[in-house]
Structure 1
Amino acid sequence: VSDLAIIGIYYFQDGAYLREELQYLLDNDIKDKGEYQLTNALENMKNKGTIFVPGQVTEWLDCGNKDATVFTNQRYLEYLKERGEKLVAASAKITNSVIIEPVYIGENAVITNSVVGPHVSLSADAVVEDSRLSNSIVQTAATVRHANVAASMIGNSASVTGKPADLSVGDFNVLRV
């Protein structure tokens, strides 16, 4: 018993062992409240001798919904900037655009005639053209064109064209306004 909580950040030196325990849960249909629980696999590992070492955090950030995830992204980008981390990939192509830090720009992302930031994470292969993005997450291979996007999440390979302002667009969706 302790005053520590599991908050969803884990590091495993032996990922194969974790996979075995997760497979055991699936094979034996072990669920709590109708869902498979990672904590059941962790308990099995502990009972078989795995030693878990807790870490301490100074801030607990949630990613349970769009607004919480966008806020967590904002705080994380601020943290990375304070540490002096390099947040713009060398392969990113930025043309005739303004970048307002902190932002993360992934490998091979393309930004043209746009204003990006603050607090934007733009994943690998994302494309932003003639747009304004702030406080948002744009995932891998997503496209934003002719849009004003704020406080939003845009999924993998999704496409947004037009003038939306507050979005949550899932993977592979297309939105034209």
Structure 2
Amino acid sequence: IKKVIEKPREPVSRLAIVGVYYFRAAGKLYQALDRLVKENRRVGREYQFTDALQLLADQGEEIRTIDIDTWLDCGTPEALLETNRVLLPASENSPEFPGSRVVTPVSVADDAIIERSQIGPYVSVAAGARITDSVIKDSIIYQGAKVERSNLTGSIIGENAEVSGVKGSVNIGPGTKLSSG
């Protein structure tokens, strides 16, 4: 690779950057990233990882590609939920929680707590999350999040966020508290 272009207006090849990288030695990458910050080289308010890759290519570093069978986009909440729907059927995780109903496919961390609730289909529940007296479908519940007395579909609940008495679709970030009243 000689030139790295982030989201070109017109396709310049059949290759796409899908966000998976492997570096044998990351020192030169860190130097390139430091240079971007020191030079305040940004697009809008963001530093671009692809600019660091281009700096490496300009320095003669070898950048190679590999072919992949499937590319799953996670760049928007809708795309993240779609990727969750695609990946979950491959999950072997079909837990049981007394007093609750689980509709597969789901993925539930071993230490997650589900009480008097229905989860699934297409729900991922991360470590330390707690769901009580709720119905959750087509959603992702991140680590340490708490959901109670809610009916959620197509929702993303951030790490250590808390949701209480909410109905519908919500997308809340880490540490956020959301209550219906």
The bucket for the TM-score relative to the shorter chain is 0.7 to 0.9
> Are 2:152 and 1:141 equivalent residues in the alignment?
no
Deviations 1:16-50 (A, max 9, x none): 44333212211221223453110011112223343
Deviation at 1:157? 0.8
| CA drift at 1:150 | 0.6
The residue aligned with 1:100 is 103
Q: For residue 8 of structure 2, what is the aligned residue in structure 1?
A: none
Q: Does residue 154 in structure 1 map to residue 157 in structure 2?
A: yes
1:30 aligned onto 2:41 = yes
Q: Could you tell me which residue of structure 1 aligns to residue 133 of structure 2?
A: 130
Closer, same or farther: CA 104–13 of 1 in aligned 2, 3 Å: farther
Percent of paired sites with the same residue: 33
Asked whether the 8 Å contact 1:117–1:134 carries over to 2, the reply is: yes
The match for 2:84 is 73
The alignment's TM-score, normalised by the length of structure 1, stands at 0.82
What is the identity, as a one-letter code, of the residue corresponding to 1:103? V
Q: Structure 1: 5+ residue runs without aligned partners? A: none
Task: Kindly provide the amino acid, as one letter, of the partner of residue 45 in structure 1.
Answer: L
- Counterpart Cα distance in 2 of 1:23 and 1:29: 10
- Bigger-Rg structure (1/2): 2
Q: Which runs of 5+ in 2 are unaligned?
A: 1-11
Q: Which moved more, 1:120-129 or 1:62-71?
A: 62-71
User: What secondary structure does 1:95 align onto?
Assistant: coil
For each residue in 1:94-140, what CA deviation from the matched residue of structure 2 results, as whole angstroms up to 9, or x when unmatched? Answer: 33222222212124211112111111111111001111111101111
Match of 1:166 in 2: 169
Shift of 1:159: 0.7
CA RMSD, 1 decimal: 2.3
Q: TM-score, normalised by structure 2?
A: 0.80
Alignment size in residue pairs: 169
Using the TM superposition, give the Cα deviation of residue 163 of structure 1 relative to its aligned residue in structure 2, in angstroms.
3.7
Equivalents in 2 of 1:86, 1:55: separation in Å? Answer: 28
**Does the 8 A contact of 2:96 with 2:102 survive in 1?**
no
Residues 37 and 144 of structure 1: CA distance in aligned 2, closer, same or farther (over 3 Å): same
Quote the Cα distance in structure 1 between the aligned partners of 2:115 and 2:32. Answer: 47
Distance, in Å, in 1 between the alignment partners of 2:108 and 2:35 is 39
